[in-house]
Chain A
């Protein structure tokens, strides 16, 4: 459970960061689109923004948006396919995004092409002031005609006109940088390998813990009964696993007996020979049909007792030292 929760939190955290990147990408992309189009009036009126003067740039960006949309859609589908166990809200969100992404991939470039006013180069100001095909801004009847500006105001106006393109250019550059960074972040998120969860421990796999507890109990009973040597050897090994887990060396789901043995030895386990002996006996009992007799049972019991003594003395060691001092 704990492992699942941690994995889930990690996944949500990563998805949250990716969502922020996606949001920045979308908002930035729309802003960029507005800079390209910026229709003078009405939603369906054709227009051209500050960046829209160069048709090559417009068509390039349209192509880029289309290809990027395709790649994003493909990656998204791949990622979603790999994710299991979504709750209903997440599932609905995934369904909606799965439908919107392909539509947007096609619609956005088409709209940019359809609504963009391809015309003479460098006619931005004329278009804005009504000399082009676009709508002309006539003063309304109730509005006073603009008075002539004095010379000082003319100079101020000229300065402001000089600053405007610079500020506009800086803003556009900033917008492009933010969009590119967000896009890169999102791309890296979508293309990186899935983060492996910490290997599941033996206790976290289904009801293995409960089974193991029962096995330990049955092992102790089997040791007392002494009827089935094979079951006794397996139960002794299960008890050893429990003891190792209690001392901090839990078995992972993908561990073989040898893996557990190596980790136990690496953690400075006392009674190393006994662990090797019990592991060897367990392998034979678990994976072969060799007849098992009382000799095997006694060796397993002796090894388990030695391991238990070793773990107990290691656990009580620091306390006894502390008590003595």
Chain B
């Protein structure tokens, strides 16, 4: 069952209204994806901030359901690619075919020409095919046979990766991981939540909950435009720079976060402010998105792998040690 809402002009959506619309979408998705409000909120932040999301976790935790639910609730065109070792770049981007009737080469668009693309198990395909997708993610366009074709707007990639299996997988290089705005981990449900999920499955007598369509591509663009209206104090920008800088000086980190990491942190903090119905970002916004925005962008020293310390732990430690903006502004505030 779907019901379409009128799509407002995206120049007129305030951060508060955008936040309310996003909250309604999250509530709707919450009926299908049970017990993961924080993961859902993070994916929504990625959509609002105009980036791509990497969901990294074990199989069976609802990654695919989450992506499909977002596509439905946001009213976005949805495609899915199951990445396999024999997938070719042209299977992702599309390729020209010879049309016998017109005796001409005709471009047949690949699954990447969609609003929301689920790249399932992206680490199962060789780097060449990964690179084809990641190029499309970075440029929002595809160049084939000398001609450039823009991708639909909005274009969001939700990629999933299984972090446990190493046999027959191709780990994403750091430079390609950097293209993802944030990395989300789902994690297991608590016993009570899992029981609730089973009960809900029995009650609805269907494999999956039906998610209503609450939005559309235009409204998603409007929400993104609202994020751009969120103001960020200079002290907060310095705090972001300090956090990113700390990743470059930390003794456990071999390669720190790039400047793109700082941009991601700011945009995600602004999106978090929108979700909290504010038009200004605060240190809480930055701290709450620091781990998902930065942890996948740092390369730890090899010995830490043995000691089971991962990027999340190190970024958490950095957030706990870098001084937040002081109570008093550097420059005197005026009403």
- The majority secondary structure among interface residues of chain A is helix
A234 contacts B284, C-beta separation under 8 Å: no
B303 contacts A284, C-beta separation under 8 Å: no
**What 1/0 mask marks residues of chain B from 279 to 308 whose CB sits below 8 Å from any chain A CB?**
111111001000000000000000100000
B74-82, B114-122, B327-335: which lies at the A interface? B327-335
- Interface check B321, CB cutoff 8 A: yes
- Interface check B95, CB cutoff 8 A: no
Bound CA span A290–B15, Å: 14
Contact of A287 among B251, B281, B317 (CB under 8 A): B281
Q: How far is the CB of A30 from chain B (nearest CB, A)?
A: 29
**What 1/0 mask marks residues of chain B from 239 to 262 whose CB sits below 8 Å from any chain A CB?**
000000000000110000000000
Q: Which of B231, B280, B303, B324 has the most CB of A within 10 A?
A: B324
- Interface check A9, CB cutoff 8 A: no
- Interface check A58, CB cutoff 8 A: no
Task: Answer whether A257 and B321 are a contact pair too, CB < 8 Å, given A212-B327, A215-B327, A285-B333.
Answer: no
Bound CA span A286–B251, Å: 33
Count how many chain B residues have C-beta atoms less than 8 Å from C-beta atoms of the other chain: 31
Q: How far is the CB of A59 from chain B (nearest CB, A)?
A: 28
Enumerate chain A residues within 8 angstroms of B282, measured Cβ to Cβ: 256-258, 283, 287
B319 contacts A254, C-beta separation under 8 Å: yes
B322 contacts A254, C-beta separation under 8 Å: yes
- Interface check B131, CB cutoff 8 A: no
- Interface check A2, CB cutoff 8 A: no
**What 1/0 mask marks residues of chain A from 172 to 206 whose CB sits below 8 Å from any chain B CB?**
00000000000000000001011010011010010
Task: Answer whether A237 and B284 are a contact pair too, CB < 8 Å, given A230-B334, A288-B279.
Answer: no
B327 contacts A234, C-beta separation under 8 Å: yes
* Contacting residues of chain B (253-283) with chain A, CB-CB under 8 angstroms: 278-283
- Interface check B60, CB cutoff 8 A: no
Task: Answer whether A241 and B280 are a contact pair too, CB < 8 Å, given A196-B317, A230-B335, A286-B333.
Answer: no
**What 1/0 mask marks residues of chain B from 61 to 99 whose CB sits below 8 Å from any chain A CB?**
000000000000000000000000000000000000000
Contact of A292 among B281, B284, B335 (CB under 8 A): B335
Q: How far is the CB of B126 from chain A (nearest CB, A)?
A: 35
Contact of B324 among A230, A255, A282, A293 (CB under 8 A): A255
- Interface check A208, CB cutoff 8 A: yes
Bound CA span A194–B253, Å: 13
- Interface check B238, CB cutoff 8 A: no
* Contacting residues of chain B (145-159) with chain A, CB-CB under 8 angstroms: none
Q: How far is the CB of A280 from chain B (nearest CB, A)?
A: 10
A200 contacts B323, C-beta separation under 8 Å: yes
- Interface check A21, CB cutoff 8 A: no
B335 contacts A241, C-beta separation under 8 Å: no
Q: Which of A78, A82, A234, A286 has the most CB of B within 10 A?
A: A286
Contact of B333 among A205, A230, A255 (CB under 8 A): A230
Contact of A202 among B283, B327, B334 (CB under 8 A): B327
Contact of A199 among B251, B284, B320, B329 (CB under 8 A): B320
- Interface check A318, CB cutoff 8 A: no
Bound CA span A285–B328, Å: 10
* A contact set with B: CB distance below 8 Å: 78, 82, 191, 193-194, 196, 199-200, 202, 205, 208, 211-212, 215, 228-231, 234, 237-238, 241, 251, 253-259, 282-293
Give 8 closest A-B pairs by Cβ, nearest first: A288-B280, A256-B283, A253-B323, A230-B335, A258-B284, A292-B335, A256-B284, A230-B333
* B contact set with A: CB distance below 8 Å: 231, 233, 236, 251-252, 278-284, 287, 303, 309, 317, 319-329, 332-335
